[in-house]
Structure formats: structure tokens, C-alpha cells
Amino acid sequence: MRDPFFLSDTIGIFDSGIGGLTIWLEIKELIPHARTIYVSDNQNVPYGEKSRNFITQRAERITDFLIDSGADIIVIACNTATSAAIKHLRKSYNMEFVGIEPAIKPAAEQSANGIVGVLATKGTLESDKFKKTRNQYANGVEVIMQQGKGLVRLIESGDWDSDALHENLNENLYFINNRGVDTLVLGCTHYPLIKEQISRIIGPEVLVIDPGKAVARQVLRKMKKKMATETSTAQHKFFSTGSAEPLLKTLVKLGVNAPKVENVNL
């Protein structure tokens, strides 16, 4: 039965963990009257190490939960899950889905020297969707790919100024200056949470791009015809399949007052 709290103007959002909150923030800013329901599948984080079939099964279970909760549109706030499951979900459900893909097109357009770096998970970089996007939009541009090994787990820990995270970033971002990259695409929704730390290492001269605002605009376009902008009251619910602590800590860091996270078994 649909939750009466979410009977209209509700945006469902899910990710393997806290990374999708970067998309949630952009949506909340652009569509301040919308209601949201966010699911962190942190019992299975990170998705980047999982098989395509596993991720698709998780996406189905979470989608079922979001629909039962009253979602009018679902945002797959995870690059890896988008690559693995969005095509299947669109075929299987009568529901609007908005996914995430690395922002190669704007990066290629804005790069001054034609050398673009992409920092992403293994699952994203090896996906057909990523390869298709790269081939379509990176003509005449060199795209250097780097797998962010271990980054998601470190970000999920909540200690974004730890020595371990700093060492990991130094290792993963070495290619930026070494290969002359002038534009960096953040190809995982977790990474914008540490955008400040990334910028400190690569320097202000490297343009950093993430797709958050573009995703929010896409959600607005899809919802515009049916959103009751004058009557909706912005309310937000958060669920976690594992420990609630990472989500709670991150919401507080993002300025959410007294957030509540419910556990859900999916």
C-alpha cells in the first residue's frame, strides 16, 4: 500500500550509499517544494565491485519499494547502477527513470587543451553505456580514465580529512598533472562530497565537473507537467538497508537539521 505521506510530487532517489545525496541536494535546491524519499543501499556498498546482475536485482527491489512508497519518478543517483540497470528498469516498469552518466560531453566542450580525465568506479568505466558516451562525445578529445580504487569506502566512513583518504586521492589523482589533464569529470556521485579535497590536490587550474545540476534539471523537466508547485510541502524521508550512521552523519554535514533515517530490509 502506498504511504499516504507520499501521494503526490514525490521523487524517489537511490544509491549504494551516501553519494546520491549530492544529487538529492541539487534536486532540493532546484525543486524546493518537492517531496523526496531516499534509499541508501549501504548494506551492499560499493556497487562498483558488484556484478551487473546483482546490481540489477538490487535496483528492482529498491524500485519496488519506492513505487510502493508513492514515488512519481525515480532517480538512479549512482553511475554504476545507471550503467548496469536503467535500460532494464525502463523496460520493466511504467515509471520515469532519470539516471547518471559521466559528464563527458560538457567536459569535452570546456576543455582548453583537449585532455579530459574521468575518475569513476570499475563498473562505470567498463560499462557499455560509458563507452558509448565516450565515443559519442569525445571526438578529438583525449579521455584518460582512472578507477577510484577504495574511494567510495573511504567516503562512506565519513572522515573526509583522514590521512587514508588524502593518500588515496594523491595516488588516484596523480594522472591529472602527469598527463596534462585540464578538465576532470567526477564519474561517481560519492566524489562531489570530497570535491574540496580533490581541488586542493589537483589545483584550481583544473576544471572539475559533476552532473548533479544537470540531473536536477532533467528531473524538473520530467516532473514539470504534474507538479503542484503551489500546494506541495517539501518533506523528505531517508532509508538505509544497513547502518543508518553514514547517512545520518552526512546529512548533518550537509546542514540537515535533526535528520531521521529508518532502516529497511530489502
Active site residues: 78, 188
Cell numbers at residue 102, please? 559521466
φ/ψ (deg, to 5) at 234 = -65, 120
What is the tally of helices (H) and strands (E) in the chain?
A: 12, 10
Q: Is 103 helix (H, G, I), strand (E, B) or coil?
A: coil
Q: Please say whether the beta carbons of 185 and 147 come within 8 A.
A: no
Say which residues have a Cβ less than 8 Å from residue 241's Cβ, sequence separation at least 6: 39, 40, 41, 42, 43, 44, 263, 264, 265, 266
Q: At what angle do helices 79-92 and 52-68 cross, to 10 degrees?
A: 60
Side-chain-side CA neighbours of 123 within 13 Å: the count stands at 24
* Contact between 119 and 96 (Cβ < 8 Å): no
- How many whole angstroms from its chain centre is CA 245? 19
Q: Are 197 and 166 in contact (CB under 8 A)?
A: yes
In the numeric block, the cell 538529492 is attached to 24
Q: Distance between CA 251 and CA 120 in Å, rounded?
A: 23
8 A C-beta contact, residue 148 and residue 120: yes
Please give the Cα distance from 192 to 190 (Å, whole number): 6
